[in-house]
Amino acid sequence: MKKLIFTIILSASFSVLIKAQIQKGNVMIGADLSNIRFGLDEPNEFRLDINPKAAWFVQDGLAFGAELDLGLATQKDAGTDFRYGVSLLSRYYGVTGANEVVNNSRFFGEATLGIQGYNPSGGGSTNGLGFSFGPGFTYFITSTIGLEALLKYNGVVGFGSSPYAHNLNLGVGFQIYLPGRSTARKIERDMK
């Protein structure tokens, strides 16, 4: 009987923590990986993009923060392409229940705006105002860690030999959700 009561209390606490991840005051830290490629045949291409990000929830389900954009593509005898950028980030999780596919999952929309650049090895470049937007899906594997998939349209408008560069990117990543002070106090009260 004690084991059953303990299991029920633990399950209830876990469900409260899942809902508390995107509450006002919480912090999200993580990264997305995309364009991963290891060419084993000639011309031996390597490609990887990484986007570390951090955001603070200013309202339940709405977060603002920053994102770095780092990308590298190298190919034997062809040179190296490099992408870079720093952007402001906004992320919105929809209404609870309306966007849950399975338990502990949420859909979200993400948009960025900042300074970015693309410098291909073959010459030419685009550096200037960068923006991106797209839908995503998060599955919370624990009370503080979410695995996600994100489909984003990325564009750079600016200076250089090409005034506009853009792509569609599918990334996978993880986010760690840390409770803010008020959420931590509420969880402590609920656990007592």
Confidence check: pLDDT of 13 > 80: no
Give the number of residues written for the chain. 192
Amino acid identity of residue 3, one-letter, is K
Domains annotated on the chain, with CATH: 2-191 (2.40.160.20)
What is residue 8's three-state secondary structure? helix
Band (183; pLDDT cuts 50, 70, 90): low
What is residue 184's three-state secondary structure? helix
Confidence check: pLDDT of 68 > 50: yes
pLDDT of 99 reads 57
Per-residue model confidence as pLDDT tens digits over 116-140: 988 887 777 888 999 999 999 999 9
Q: Is the pTM of this model over 0.95?
A: no
Q: Which long-range contacts (CB under 8 A, 24 or more apart) does 81-85 make?
A: 81/118, 81/119, 81/120, 81/121, 82/118, 82/119, 83/49, 83/116, 83/117, 83/118, 83/119, 84/116, 84/117, 85/114, 85/115, 85/116, 85/117, 85/130, 85/156
Band (90; pLDDT cuts 50, 70, 90): very high
